Structure 1
Amino acid sequence: MPTPHSAWPWPAFIAHRGGGRFAPENTLAAMRTGAAAGFGMVEFDAKLSSDGMPFLLHDDTVDRTSDGHGLASALDWRALGGLDFGSWHGPDFAGEPAPSLLSVARYTRAHGIHSNVEIKPTTGHETETGVAVARAVAYLWSGAGLPPLLSSFSESALEAARTAVPELPRALLIEGPVPADWRARQQGLGCIGLNIDTLHADEATVRDILDQGATLAVWTVNTPDRARELLSWGCHAVFTDELHQVRADAPGLAR
């Protein structure tokens, strides 16, 4: 099980993009799915509309997860509100809208669910997105007993978030193998630790990160055996799409 860490007060099991593979990602339906599966923490992606509204979406474009087309950064909030972000996943989710960060904050706070807000800027909008999302998170979660964790692959976005709201905890997301200079980059950004890909989370890498005092969460972990292995090495949390198998009360994973 995860080693206690003063900088990781969040749950050890995190529902990836809200509802894993069981709901359209980054929607309120996904958040409800994660909550129904018993998850105390969800991860989701936040970016900006053309008129500066923080909302949930993973890709630069709306093409994959909606019935619309084009760059998210070129669409205003009214236009985004007219798109269907649920039908691609199945008819039960037809008409599901893209949620604002405000609506997700209200839902998760009302249900006592913690959040990992990934700052996911449309390419070319890293700094403005980092600032806007950090400020929105600080406002929307004001007074919460435990603030969300901000994370990003974009170091520019993380630096902007730190400048805007330095007190919010942040983690550096790593694409691919963990680089040799990870510690300098993590500390330079004032991040508490790393979120890394399970494909590159071997025991030596995990123990190196933990031995140097950083937090470590691993994505995307979709089998109980792999989750058990990572947690036994000391990883603080795992992100999963398999909400029914990789969860806090699953056999062999119950804490």
Structure 2
Amino acid sequence: MPELSFVLPRVIAHRGASAAAPENTLAAFRRAREEGATWIECDVKLTADGRPVIFHDDTLDRTTDGSGPMVDAPLDVVGALDAGGWFSPDFRGEPVPTLEETLDLLADLGMGANLEIKPCPGRERETAAVTAAAVQPYLDRVPVLLSSFADESLAAAREAAPDVPRGLLVEAVPADWQARAAALECVALHVDAVPLTAEQVAAMRAAGYKVVVWTVNGESEARRLVEWGVDAVITDAPQRIGAAIG
């Protein structure tokens, strides 16, 4: 199976330091670095005109002052939205960043990224291909691990950028996890921490996969997962969780 060419950090900041700054913004990524994180996790989605931006939801309503489906909004509309005011007046005017702006910042900060390919329905292959193409010029400066819940997206990423490592995202660990991960030539399993068991972690590690868990904000939970052998913990509070697990 493929191997990582870099070492995953123990702590990865979930959509940046999203307990302290608005998720999936440059402000959250800078705050993550200030809190000691060396990697972020964030979501890549396409605008109506096919541009990759850092955004989680299928609609604009929850985290911006816009409304409606992302798939209907071109970049000039998305780029003019306020993606920070919903979190705090201190972040009013914080924009939705493009993938390229994010990678430029990470290169400047010396950080890596777990980029979750988060396609709007029907754009699984397109989102993956655009993301894979966008990261290529940065790979000598920004370590990147691509992940997705969508097998179709991971297959398209493998075709577009076979040398960029991939992780299969799952909630409850399915019975066919190993077959799926092998078919997609993944190096990691990214698993919801809540239903995960020590036996499942051991099985994944024995099969040669890295184990990344999300989203862990409790110190005792983080310590237990590390004791089980997980490789990386994705958290909203990187400073606090980093201190808890050392």
Shorter-chain-normalised TM-score: which range?
over 0.9
- Partner of 1:73 in structure 2? 71
Does structure 1 residue 160 correspond to structure 2 residue 156? yes
Counterparts of 2:139 and 2:229, CA distance in 1:
31
Is 1:36 equivalent to 2:37 in the alignment? no
List per-residue Cα deviations over 1:68-114 (Å, max 9, x = no partner). Answer: 01111111110111111111101000011000111110111111111
2:85 to 78, 83, 87: 87
Identity of aligned residues (%): 43
Mapped partners of 1:73, 1:244: distance in 2: 35
Residue 142 of structure 1 deviates from its aligned partner by: 3.5
AA paired with 1:169?
P
Could you tell me whether the CA contact under 8 Å between 1:20 and 1:243 is conserved in 2? no
Does the 8 A contact of 1:43 with 1:118 survive in 2?
Answer: yes
Unaligned residue ranges in structure 1 (runs of 5+): none
1:197 lines up with 2:195 in the alignment: no
TM-score by length of 2: 0.95
Question: In 1, are the aligned partners of 2:15 and 2:40 still within 8 Å (CA)?
Answer: yes
**Shift, 1:186, TM fit:** 0.2
Whether the 8 Å CA contact 1:7–1:215 is kept in 2: the answer is: no
| Counterpart check, 1:229 vs 2:191 | no
Q: CA RMSD in A?
A: 1.4
User: Is the aligned partner of 1:181 residue 2:176?
Assistant: yes
Task: Measure the CA separation in 1 of the matches of 2:241 and 2:92.
Answer: 27
Provide the residue aligned with 1:143 in structure 2: 140
4+ residue segments displaced more than 3 Å: 5-8
Deviations 1:116-144 (A, max 9, x none): 011011111111001101111112x1422
Contact 2:45 2:53 in 1 (8 A): yes
For 2:201 and 2:190, how far apart are their aligned partners in 1? 11
Q: Distance in 2 between matches of 1:132 and 1:221?
A: 30
5+ unaligned residues in a row in structure 2: which ranges? Answer: none
Q: 1:199 aligns to what SS in structure 2? A: coil
Distance 1:210 1:8, change over 3 A: farther
Say whether the 8 Å CA contact 2:4–2:165 is kept in structure 1. no
Aligned equivalent of 1:169: 165
Q: TM-score, normalised on structure 1? A: 0.92
Amino acid in structure 1 at the alignment position of 2:183: G
